[in-house]
Amino acid sequence: MIVKTILAAKGGEVVSIEPTADLIAAAKLLTKHRIGVLVVNDAGGRLIGILSERDITRVLAENASAVLHLSVAEAMTRNVSTCDVSDSIGSVLKRMTKGQFRHMPVLENDRLVGLVSIGDIGKCHMGILLDHARDLDECIDQISLMKL
């Protein structure tokens, strides 16, 4: 299965913020949308970073009360791992696990088209497992009927 499958199910909406916004605005967006990460785009709409709850917590620990007036650019992760819509879900999961992060922007032809989380991948895997279990149950039922 590929990343495009997940985006087809969940949609490609991505909540983004400008690098000049402050962390108060970022925290409000995270809360409003009940999400854990914001994509940071430059004025041309190009992905330049990602700001997670973990980033905000890190700068809070480092800068105490001054943190709320820092800009998003000062707190965001700049070296963003991305994936392509055609990447396998397994390869994305391995990269998330190795890098110890939970969100990955999805690109198609170098353009941001969505965001996948480790929760999205888990949900997808659970669906596959449930489909397999149902298929096995049907096979067992058919074998049982053959014995009659």
- State yes or no: pLDDT of 5 exceeds 70: yes
Whole-prediction pTM value? Answer: 0.75
The label of the residue with tokens 């962390």 reads 23
- Please report which residue ranges of the chain form alpha helices under DSSP H: 3-10, 23-33, 53-63, 72-75, 89-99, 118-147
CATH number at residue 43: 3.10.580.10
Strand order through the sheet with 47-52: 16-17, 37-41, 47-52
The label of the residue with tokens 């590929």 reads 2
By residue range, what is the domain housing residue 127? 3-147
Number of structural domains (the chain) is 1
| Cβ atoms within 10 Å, residue 17 | 20
pLDDT in tens, 124-135: 888 788 888 888
pLDDT in tens, 86-123: 999 999 999 999 999 999 999 999 999 999 999 999 88
Strand order through the sheet with 111-117: 83-84, 103-108, 111-117
